[in-house]
């Protein structure tokens, strides 16, 4: 089930006795755990009705599950990163036999911070109980709603355009976005509305955003700004090869836009095909308009061949990235 189905079952009080939380969205996963905890455990009695276990043996899990709750209907037992879900060890067959008959007085939550192996017997057993809850990364409108809701919780109003701008600048990681929201919201505590300028001044740019700005500087023939942005990334500890890979990714996106436009695809198809947030897609389309199809093709080839030369040992990463940026500036000025 997804997060929406989980919250529906939680509100109806019909969750199964065994759950497994998986997925890359750690913020939403953690929020669901706290929602589950609040729903099951009476205030002030949480510590008496909750057991936290790290890679326990089967006897310990069963003993915790069989312990009766105190002044509430269910005990919450959390098992973090059970080794039988990651492939490091085989599952104890007695645990597999126990799960289908786990008492209704307890809820067993297998909490995975790492990606579980869906082929493992324990995973399959929990799936049979309809207990798998997957927290996939939020996308587009979900991310926008997440940011506006976070600002609302912080006592701020934020329109969708400003929320999308923050996502474009700082990326799609919800943990990071939540921290950025708190930082921005506390900057002017008495001002109710968040504006794009607040985001521009205060938000921490992701690497993708920094590379986008670097390409923007190339498009505008701003050599000093392009190298200033590169210098900032290097000072922040970014690897040259990784920056080059991100640069290649961005020009491939521009090439994809050019191809879709040549094929006369609708704007809706174009936006959905890029696989990036809608606000970012709009910005990439704007950048692509500054290039011809041939220029973008040459830029992709330049980045790809340089990356290959570095990884094969024919070029030293030191200086190669700077050379690529200079060639991209020359390419932009060639027509």
Burial class, 88, CB count within 10 angstroms (exposed 0-12 / middle 13-18 / buried 19+): exposed
Residue 309: phi and psi, rounded to 5, are: -65, -35
pLDDT digits (tens, 9 = 90+) for 212-230: 888 888 878 888 888 888 8
Can you name the residues that pair with 78 across neighbouring β-strands?
52, 109
Q: Would you identify the CATH topology of the domain 207-333?
A: Zinc Finger, Delta Prime; domain 3 (1.20.272)
Q: Which of 148, 146, 140, 82 is nearest to 109 (CA)?
A: 82
- Location of each CATH 3.40.50.300 domain in the chain: 3-134
Strand ranges of the sheet holding 75-80, from the earlier edge strand across to the other edge = 50-54, 75-80, 106-111, 18-22, 132-134
Count Cα neighbours of 284 within 13 Å in the Cβ-side half-sphere. 31
Distance CA 220, CA 326 (A): 13
Q: Which of 135, 160, 134, 161 is nearest to 149 (CA)?
A: 160
Distance CA 192, CA 23 (A): 34
- Location of each CATH 1.10.8.60 domain in the chain: 140-202
Residue 303: phi and psi, rounded to 5, are: -65, -40
CATH code linked to domain 3-134? 3.40.50.300
pTM: 0.73
Residue 168 CA: distances (Å) to CA of 25, 78, 143:
18, 35, 11
Query: Structure tokens of 88?
Result: 């490091």
2.40.30.170, 1.10.8.60, 3.30.2270.10, 3.40.50.10860: which CATH number matches 140-202? Answer: 1.10.8.60
Q: Which of 110, 117, 120, 113 is nearest to 90 (CA)?
A: 120
pLDDT digits (tens, 9 = 90+) for 125-135: 899 889 999 99
CA angle 142/175/7 to nearest 5° reads 50
Could you give the residue ranges of the DSSP H alpha helices within the chain? 3-12, 26-40, 58-66, 83-86, 93-98, 121-128, 140-153, 160-170, 174-185, 196-202, 207-219, 223-235, 240-262, 267-273, 278-288, 293-311, 317-333
Per-residue pLDDT of the chain (335 residues; tens, 9 = 90+): 888 999 999 998 888 899 999 998 898 999 999 999 999 888 888 888 898 998 888 888 888 888 888 888 889 999 998 888 887 677 778 888 888 888 888 999 999 988 888 888 888 889 988 999 999 988 878 889 999 999 999 999 999 989 989 998 898 889 999 999 999 998 888 888 999 999 989 998 887 888 888 888 887 888 888 888 888 888 888 888 888 888 898 899 899 999 999 888 888 888 778 777 777 788 888 888 888 889 999 999 999 999 999 988 888 888 888 888 888 888 766 65
């Amino acid at each position: 089930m997804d997060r929406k189905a989980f919250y529906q079952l939680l509100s109806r009080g019909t969750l199964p006795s065994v759950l497994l939380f998986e997925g890359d969205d750690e913020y939403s996963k953690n929020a669901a755990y706290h929602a589950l905890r609040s729903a099951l455990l009476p205030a002030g009695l949480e510590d008496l009705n909750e057991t936290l276990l790290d890679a326990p043996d089967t006897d310990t899990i069963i003993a915790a599950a069989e312990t009766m709750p105190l002044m509430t209907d269910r005990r919450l037992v959390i098992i973090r990163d059970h080794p039988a879900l990651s492939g490091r060890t085989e599952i104890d067959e007695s645990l597999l036999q126990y799960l289908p008959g786990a008492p209704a007085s307890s809820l067993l939550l297998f909490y995975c911070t790492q990606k579980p192996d869906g082929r493992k017997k324990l995973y399959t057993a929990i799936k049979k109980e309809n207990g798998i809850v997957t927290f996939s990364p939020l996308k587009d409108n979900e991310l926008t709603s997440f940011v506006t809701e976070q600002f609302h919780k912080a006592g701020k109003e934020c329109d969708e355009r400003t929320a999308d701008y923050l996502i474009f600048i700082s990326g799609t990681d919800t943990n990071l976005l939540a921290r950025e929201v708190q930082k921005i919201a506390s900057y002017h505590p008495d001002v109710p509305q968040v504006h794009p300028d607040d985001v521009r001044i205060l938000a921490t740019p992701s690497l993708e955003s920094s590379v986008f700005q670097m390409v923007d500087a190339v498009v505008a023939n701003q050599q000093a700004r392009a190298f200033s942005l590169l210098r900032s990334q290097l000072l922040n500890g970014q690897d040259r090869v990784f920056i080059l890979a991100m640069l290649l990714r961005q020009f491939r996106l521009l090439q994809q836009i050019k191809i879709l436009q040549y094929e006369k695809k609708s704007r809706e198809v174009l936006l959905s095909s890029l696989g990036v947030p809608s606000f970012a897609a709009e910005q990439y389309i704007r950048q692509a308009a500054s290039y011809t199809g041939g220029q973008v093709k040459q830029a992709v080839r330049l980045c790809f061949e340089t990356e290959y030369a570095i990884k094969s040992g024919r070029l030293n990463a030191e200086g190669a990235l700077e050379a690529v940026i200079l060639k991209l500036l020359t390419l932009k000025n060639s027509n």
